[in-house]
Chains A and B, each alone.
Chain A
Amino acid sequence: MSRTSRFEGRLLLAPLTAFLLALLGFPLLLDVVYSVSRVGFENIRAPELTGLANYAKAIADPGFWSAAWFSLRFGLIVAVIQVVVGLMLAVFLAPLFARRPWLIAFMMLPMMVAPALVGLMYRLILHEFVGAVPYYLLEIYGDFPAFLGRDWAFTTLVVVETLQWTPFALLILHSSYAAISPDVREAAALDGARGRRLFVYIDLPLMLPAIGITFFIRFIDSFRVFDNLYTLVGPGAGGSTTSMSIYIYQAFFKVGDIGLAVAASMLLLAASFVVLWLINRLTARKAPL
């Protein structure tokens, strides 16, 4: 490459680099400084350096690990359910979608509501004195569970998250299922593959990349759950429904310990990099195949 072309390349990349440095680099640098400082709202412009004390505090805090476990459990369970339900819907409703494609837009409606509003909506629906669900359960069965109470809150949250975001899984998996060439299915059918065997040995392997991507997107999104959880049950009695996002929010805004909040988010960032590195490594190993 000539010197002129290198210069032109750098020149063309300069705006993007400046944009990334300004919007990602500067906040990251500020976060690093805050994470090693004693900083609250009152001295936000003059943080006092304290080394790794915030990281030690986060790691020693049982609340941090409890929140991490909540998010991990919630993210995994919700992602698995959404992928399974989304896959079932994509396959079983495929003939219907082929005849009436507008139904897909109808199925996407839950995704278009802001998660915070979804939380508020279910808070009303499930409230004992104004909600429809407890009312009818009481009329029919004479009792109802405490949907937002300690024993049911997690299940309620999983159901609410699944109802809102399964359409996302459905959308991707439907596209993937519809993209499988009819020739492949026809060839398999000539070899005697039908029904379940056709799905398990032909469709499913071809859809695996889409299933993997859907799972990871939904896992990441559910792991960082905040809006609907916060409006529906908040951090929960004794912090029982505190996700990592709520832990960081509370440390930052409610306790005013900005250093701890930022250190916790930096630890989360580091964990994300480790996971990404592992995924990259696994993908790289499979690439030659």
Chain B
Amino acid sequence: MTRLQTLLTSAAVLAVLGAGPALAEVTVLGWPGGPEEAGLRKAAETYNATASDADKVKLIFFNRDGFFDKLAADLAAGSTEFDINLLATYALGRYAPFMDPITLPEADKATFPEKVLATMQYDGKQYGIPTDLSLHFMYYRSDLIDKLKSDASWKAKYGEISKKYLGKALEPKDPDAWTWEDWMATALFFTKSINSDSPTRYGTVLQMKNLLFNMMVWHSAARAQGGDWMNDKGEITVDSPAYRAALDIYKKLYDAGTSPKDSTTYEFAEANAAFGAGQAATMLQWNAAFGDLDNKDKTPAVAGKIGTVAPPAGPAGRFTHIHGLGLGINKASKNKEGAAKFLNWLGTPDAMEVYAKAGGSPALSDAVVAKVSAERPDLVKLGQYAGAYGFVMHGGTAAKALQVYELQAKEFTAYWSGDKSLDAALAAAKTGMAELLKP
């Protein structure tokens, strides 16, 4: 054998040895940068501890910004870089053509309530394991609210401030009984520039960055005022008094200085930093933030002093935006068998217990949630609130729903920052939505 032949043979042997395990590995593209990532990492670690080499799971993540569009591009291009990918309720219709439906084992069906499994169903087929349910909590500093409800001088000042800024003298209430007006009054009261006695610099922290997820947060306020994307006839209805009222809630609070000046660049992480620093008394935020905020090692300033309730009530009732995140199988995957094996395991009560304890937010059936309720009391509320107050905007699962969120984010942040009038922002949103949601 010549030297060249020896080299080529060695290279081929090495390539085969190296490629073998890599081909069998199951690659999961997860949701990056939040408690979902922490949960998935722990679950994968647990699974890999007992899985054979051929079934081991490898995790990959890319930036949260523009995630769904990058994923759409990869799926449409038939990428084989991942076997399992993230799914979201509001993007199911967009991804379903590029994914394989899954068949859930009976054990997995008992892990999740039927309504939660339905967040991953499209056209009658199950496309994913519902790993996380997302909705909104109104976070508040329980120590401060307790004092507000009991201290006579604080109560008097609260009345004065609400009279001055909202036109009527209000009395402090329990957060579970708040209307949006009560929340506004509380935010104003706990703002240092308005009330020098306030122990916090800001009464709230608003997420006003030009980002689609921030629209989802704000929608809980819009729906409570009676707002919707469209009516039963398919006509766009954002140019309504309800939408105007909800947009004005944020505008008034921001202009009054109840939220940090840079709030127009704030999203999930920045808002948590403000609340976690102990400098914001309230925050309308995703339920997923609770785990880190109530952790004494991560946020010692507020851990143990946080209360959570469903978002406040409005004229149309009490609502919270709701959507599910999950994991399903890429149609182009070259290891569908390994992928299905991991998903079947992930849907078991034991796996979900690991996932939940590590930070994930699955909505679990009563029997399963009982095992984690001591460490994750927020998960009990998750199921309750989803059933009682959850909503999806009319048109919120359309193929171009994400583009609608993007459009609203651009137009409404323009209004909040003072770049556009309310009329101009609503008119632009209405025109754009009519184009995006036309049948």
A residues lining the B interface (CB < 8 Å):
41-42, 44, 126-130, 145-150, 153, 230, 233-240, 249-250, 252-256
Contacts and interface: CB of A to CB of B under 8 A. Distances in A.
Contacts of B419: 150, 237-238, 240
25 contacts: A41-B72, A42-B76, A127-B270, A128-B261, A129-B260, A129-B273, A129-B279, A145-B261, A148-B262, A148-B265, A149-B261, A150-B419, A153-B265, A230-B65, A234-B210, A237-B209, A237-B210, A238-B414, A240-B419, A249-B66, A253-B66, A253-B73, A255-B406, A256-B72, A256-B403
Contacts of A42: 72, 76, 94, 97
Contacts of A233: 265
Contact of B264 (A145, A149, A250): A149
Given A127-B270, A129-B277, A238 B262 contact: no
B417 A128 contact: no
B117 to A, nearest CB: 26
Given A129-B274, A148-B264, A150-B418, 6 more contacts: A44-B76, A130-B273, A149-B262, A230-B65, A237-B264, A254-B66
A254 B77 CA distance: 17
Contacts, number: 99
B416 interface: yes
Interface in B198-212: 208-211
B417 A240 contact: yes
B387 to A, nearest CB: 33
B403 A255 contact: yes
A254 B279 contact: no
Nearest to A42: B76
B437 to A, nearest CB: 14
Given A41-B76, A150-B417, A150-B418, A235 B210 contact: yes
B106 interface: no
Contacts of B400: 256
Contacts of A230: 65
Nearest to A233: B265
Interface in B53-72: 65-66, 69-70, 72
A127 B210 contact: no
A180 B265 CA distance: 48
Nearest to B432: A255
A250 B402 CA distance: 12
B411 interface: yes
Interface string B400-429: 101100100011011111111000010000
B439 to A, nearest CB: 17
Contacts of B273: 127, 129-130
Contact of B69 (A148, A238, A253): A253
Interface residues on B, range: 35 or more
A31 to B, nearest CB: 16
A213 to B, nearest CB: 35
Interface string B363-374: 000000000000
A234 B265 contact: yes
Contacts of B413: 237-238
Nearest to B271: A129
Contacts of B270: 127
A67 to B, nearest CB: 12
A50 B274 CA distance: 49
B262 A147 contact: yes
Contact of A256 (B69, B276, B416, B420): B69
A56 to B, nearest CB: 15
Contact of A238 (B97, B274, B410): B410
Contacts of B264: 148-150, 236-237
Contact of B410 (A127, A146, A147, A239): A239
Contacts of A150: 264, 417-419
Contacts of B77: 44
Contacts of B411: 238
Contacts of B420: 238
Contacts of A146: 260-262
A171 B56 CA distance: 50
A234 B406 contact: no
Contact of B262 (A41, A44, A127, A256): A127
A253 B261 contact: no
B426 to A, nearest CB: 13
Contacts of A127: 262, 270, 273
A128 B274 contact: yes
> Which 6 residue pairs are nearest across A and B when measured between Cβ atoms?
A238-B414, A146-B261, A237-B417, A253-B69, A237-B413, A238-B419
Contacts of A240: 414, 417, 419
A238 B279 CA distance: 27
A237 B208 CA distance: 8
A95 B403 CA distance: 57
Contacts of A126: 262
Given A128-B260, A239-B210, A254 B274 contact: no
Contacts of B403: 254-256
Given A41-B72, A127-B270, A150-B418, A235 B410 contact: yes
Nearest to A147: B262
Max count, chain B CB within 10 A of own CB: residue among A42, A148, A234, A238: A238
Contacts of A254: 66, 69, 402-403, 406
Contacts of B406: 250, 254-255
A234 B417 contact: no
Contacts of B414: 237-240
Given A41-B69, A129-B279, A150-B417, A234 B410 contact: no
B294 to A, nearest CB: 18
Nearest to A239: B410
B417 to A, nearest CB: 4
Contacts of B417: 149-150, 237-238, 240
Contacts of B66: 249, 253-254
Nearest to A128: B260
B423 to A, nearest CB: 14
Nearest to B193: A143
Given A150-B417, A240-B417, A256-B403, A234 B65 contact: yes
